[in-house]
Amino acid sequence: MKKSYLLIILILVGIIATLLVNINVRAWDNGIAKTPPMGWNSWNIFHENINETQIKQIADTMVSSGMKDAGYIYLNLDDNWMANPARDSNGNLISDPTRFPSGIKALADYVHGKGLKLGIYGDRGAKTCAGVAQSGSKGYEDRDAKTFASWGIDYLKYDNCNIPNGSDMKTDYQKMQTALANCGRPIVFSICAWEYQSWMPSTGNLWRTTRDILDQWDGTGNAYGFVGIINSIDQNSKYTSSAGPGAWNDPDMLEIGNTGCTVEEYRTQMSMWCMMASPLLSGNDIRKMSQSIKDILLNKEVIAIDQDSLGKQGYRVKSSNGNEVWVKPLADGTKAVALLNRNSSTQSITVNWSDIGITGSASVRDLWAKADKGSFNGSYTASVASHGTVVLKISTGPVNTPVPTPTPAEISAFTKLEAENYNDINSSTIQIVDTVNGGKGVGYIENGNYLVYKRINFGNGSTSLKALVADSLTANIDIRLNSPTGTLIGTLKVATTGDWNTYTEQTCDISKVTGVNDVYLMFSGAVNLDWFTFAGSNTPTSTNTSTYTPTNTSVAFTGDFNGDGVVNMADIIIMAGSFNSVLGDNKYNLLYDANKDGVINMSDVMVLALKFNTFVN
């Protein structure tokens, strides 16, 4: 073979090998972090000085400031939450008795009670970076993962300090990955090893691509290799193709609001983190946020770029004298574009449609100005402040707007309301479980979770609730109307049934409710729920007569039993569950009795069939 051919072949092999290393073909799918995790972390502002009073105040503020509603869900403890030494005499991790006297489980309960999730910090070595004795998870991976799960932890940041000789980074992280996969609870796995390695996307949900971030614009020359905002952007942008749903490059936490940078520079951190589909973990004292910092952290249109379901990391398409154009394709076919100015003076920056793969005329919205700029042919130019970023959403043609969720049909409160047919949920851990007689229900409920059943019609009034539940512990279910903080109409104090598979009907009184309401079941403690129903003055009192004639003929027969807005096979299947039953045998199936003759049979199916494939509402 000629020397020149050999050279070409070698070059080609090299290119292919590089592509294989950089393209993440097999991300770890543990079912969570499908969009970049959002929350708050203690390190950037409090460093090692954390305690439970302050963390609870942060949880309160995440709710009251609107952060939770904007998507910041994870409240993450960083280093130094542990006791010194960090383990009890059995080798289990324990929290510092002075700073976290109630323990981490109690903190998790508190945080979950606010509708948030709790994250924690550990290390693959012998000690965490704070250097506390016995604080590392090396050799304790399974035990520590189980401890975290038993406390209700939802997120683990796993650091890279104090590594014993002979350790292998990949092996250590994969050990913890396996331990988390087997711990019985979905826990986001955040690899913090200060650099990208090709095995990380198949090992964690996110991985740090940089050393620690500084509250500075440019950290070039830092003795530890720590990085400023602009350096972090440059390093993180090298691994664009590795990011996707469930697996994210992590350029470290936000410094927004920590006073070392200008408001423009902080806006650039938010803009570029969102363009790069990065985790958004705020790191400021949110108890004392100025309005300008809130405006940055809470800009929902910019956050939507980060959280876009396509999960593409944006990339630089043009760079000239410190003026840059970046693009991020979005799920609806539009494109997010960032115009980034690295210069020390205001610059005019132009995005040409050819830079971002579109032609003709396109409409432009400025997401910081929150303004539609109009329709432009071929390009758009904006003035960008020093170290600032303009973020645009650019659409050509009709945007694929998401199909709006249909309003659920009204459902009678006096029918059996299947627990798994909820319309809304505030938890990612609740699962549909098998219950009794081939039925389904909900399980894995935790303190602070709630389920919403929309448009429940209480007719002329209902005064009690009955539910089929299983519980090896005890739990309370508060029944509220129309919002998580709406009117409390009663509490079902669930007595233990002995185990999670033994179901009993349990009842409580409620204050009289009439008309149509959304029902919120608010859980304190764990319980399995198969179904629930309401009863009252206008519902049948007899449960045992085959000659029963329904008295509530006002119950509307919509045919849409699962409330998804359309009458189809799914509804026939629900109806079939009560087939040939007489209403007196089962007073909950009043809704299926289309012709009101007191029995569910083929004639009712015929009525339903006439409505087949029609939309309710």
Binding interface with ligand GLA (CB under 6 A): 43, 78-79, 129-130, 159, 192, 194, 212
Nearer to ligand GLA, 43 or 520 (CB): 43
Q: Which is nearer to ligand GLA, 48 or 301 (CB)?
A: 48
Residue 492: which of 528, 470, 466, 512 has the closest Cα?
466
SS (H, E, C) 431-473: EEEECCCCCEEEECCCCCCEEEEEEEECCCCEEEEEEEEECCC
Smallest separation, CB 42 to ligand GLA (Å) = 9
Nearest distance, CB of residue 138 and ligand GLA, angstroms: 16
CA 231, CA 215: separation in Å to the nearest integer?
12
Cα dihedral value 353, 358, 360, 366, nearest 10: -60
**Catalytic residue chosen out of the listed positions 79, 172, 212, 306:** 212
CB closer to ligand GLA, 159 vs 308? 159
As a whole number of angstroms, the distance between CA 590 and CA 578 comes to: 10
Any catalytic annotation for residue 212? yes
Closer by beta carbon to ligand GLA, 78 or else 571: 78
Toward ligand GLA, which CB reaches closer, 248 or 534?
A: 248
The CB-of-432 to ligand GLA minimum distance in angstroms stands at 37
Please say which residue, 209 or 237, places its beta carbon nearer to ligand GLA: 209
Taking the complex as a whole, how short is the minimal distance between the CB of residue 309 and ligand GLA, in angstroms?
A: 28
Name the minimum Å distance from CB 130 to ligand GLA. Answer: 5
Tokens encoding 487: 């009117």
The maximal CA–CA distance of the chain, rounded, in angstroms, is: 97
Evaluated on CA atoms 10, 12, 15, 19, the torsion sign reads negative
Q: Which residue is nearest to ligand GLA (CB)?
A: 129
Catalytic residue among 154, 159, 308, 571: 159
Residue closer to ligand GLA (CB basis): 173 or 194: 194
CA–CA distance, 509 with 492 (Å, rounded to integer): 8
> Where do runs of H (alpha helix) occur along 114-190?
141-151, 169-181
CB neighbours of 434 closer than 8 A, spacing ≥ 6?
440, 441
Nearer to ligand GLA, 189 or 503 (CB): 189
Output 159 or 418, the one with its CB closest to ligand GLA. Answer: 159
Q: Least CB distance from residue 159 to ligand GLA, whole Å? A: 5
CB contact at 8 A, 381 and 349: yes
Cβ of residue 179: shortest distance to ligand GLA, in angstroms?
A: 20
The least distance separating ligand GLA from the CB of residue 20, rounded to whole angstroms, comes to: 28
CA distances from 606 to 286, 425, 519, 602, 603 (A): 59, 34, 31, 6, 5
For the record, the structure tokens of 448 come out as 């602070």
Q: Angle at the Cα of 453 (from 447 to 456), degrees rounded to 5? A: 140
Could you write out the DSSP letters of every residue in 200-259? GGGT-SEEE-SS-B-SSS--TT-TT--B-HHHHHHHHGGGGGG-BTTBEEE-----TTSS
CA 258 to mean position of chain CA atoms: 26
In the complex, least distance from residue 281 CB atom to ligand GLA, rounded to whole angstroms: 10
DSSP-derived secondary structure for 15-64: HHHHHHHHS-------S--SS--EEEESHHHHTT---HHHHHHHHHHHHH
Beta-carbon-side half-sphere exposure of residue 123 (alpha carbons within 13 Å): 24
Which residues face 99 on adjacent strands?
none
Q: How far apart are CA 588 and CA 555, in angstroms?
A: 12
Q: Any idea which residues carry the catalytic annotation?
A: 159, 212
